[in-house]
Amino acid sequence: MPARLLGSLLAVGFTIFIMALSGKAANPPIPPAKLDAPLAAVAGKQTAVFAGGCFWGTQAVFERVKGVLKTTAGYAGGSAETATYRQVITETTGHAESVEVIYDPAKITYGRLLRIYFSVAHDPTQLNRQGPDVGTSYRSAIFYANDEQKRIATAYIAELDAAKVFPARIVTEVTPLKAFYRAEDYHQDFALKNPDHPYIQICDLPKISALKQQFPEYFVDYKGSH
């Protein structure tokens, strides 16, 4: 995405952006959710969908989380007819770049996924942007699959805001998941396949480092889908 990289670095300044990300990597994780589902007694599969800026970085984080079985970069919030990258970047489709996370509830809970999402995957206080990327397709959003996910996500946001964990109010949308549309093949595992890409070097590798530093008990090395 050359346009994404070009506009971003000119907008925020290369050095300032690097310093901000480096500082974030050294931060401690935010407090865990007080309201959460218990670990399941038996292995299974559940789905969570998160939007937090460019889906390259969001996927790069969650595919390295122990208990996550599969991740898919895609679009949520709009219609099937507009679920292509060329349409989404027009900022007229209602879609947000999102990641579908299939996880084993016997190994990791939804609340713990949310903690990682808020701690290292993105900045939940930025409205309709994420760092260098600007537009509603880069908004912070939790697309809940059921009432339990809605209840946990809503309570956690209220808890973090009340504790003033972040310097500004959380603007993350909590909205029902109507559908998830898989993104084009070249977007899948983009950070893994393109580690030397300037955007990945600047924006996404620090997130992976932060995950490893803040959540070593959940970090797993990722070699790609099989």
d(CA 99, CA 56) in angstroms, rounded, equals 9
d(CA 115, CA 50) in angstroms, rounded, equals 12
Q: Would you state the pLDDT for residue 13?
A: 41
Q: pLDDT for 194-219, tens place per residue?
A: 999 999 999 999 999 999 999 999 99
Catalytic status, residue 54: yes
Catalytic residue chosen out of the listed positions 54, 83, 116, 142: 54
Q: Would you state the pLDDT for residue 4?
A: 52
φ and ψ at residue 171, rounded to 5 degrees: -110, 10
CA distances to 39, 82, 84, 108 from 219, in Å: 18, 35, 31, 12
How far apart are the two ends of the chain, measured CA to CA in Å?
25
Find how far residue 123's CA is from the centre of its chain.
9
Work out the percent of the chain whose per-residue pLDDT is above 70: 88
Q: Where are the domains of the chain?
A: 2-214
Q: Which two tokens stand for residue 79?
A: 């219609």
d(CA 99, CA 188) in angstroms, rounded, equals 10
Q: Would you state the pLDDT for residue 131?
A: 86
Q: Would you state the pLDDT for residue 15?
A: 36
φ and ψ at residue 116, rounded to 5 degrees: -65, -40
φ and ψ at residue 72, rounded to 5 degrees: -140, 130
d(CA 51, CA 137) in angstroms, rounded, equals 9
φ and ψ at residue 37, rounded to 5 degrees: -80, 145
For the domain 2-214, what is the CATH code?
Answer: 3.30.1060.10
Q: Would you state the pLDDT for residue 140?
A: 98
| Weakly modelled stretches of the chain, pLDDT under 50 | 1-3, 5-25, 226
Q: Would you state the pLDDT for residue 6?
A: 44
Amino acid code (one letter) for 212 = K
Residue 213 makes CB contacts below 8 A (sequence gap 6+) with 25, 26
Residue 76 makes CB contacts below 8 A (sequence gap 6+) with 49, 51, 95, 96, 98, 141, 143, 177, 178, 179, 180, 181
Q: pLDDT for 167-188, tens place per residue?
A: 999 999 999 999 999 999 999 9
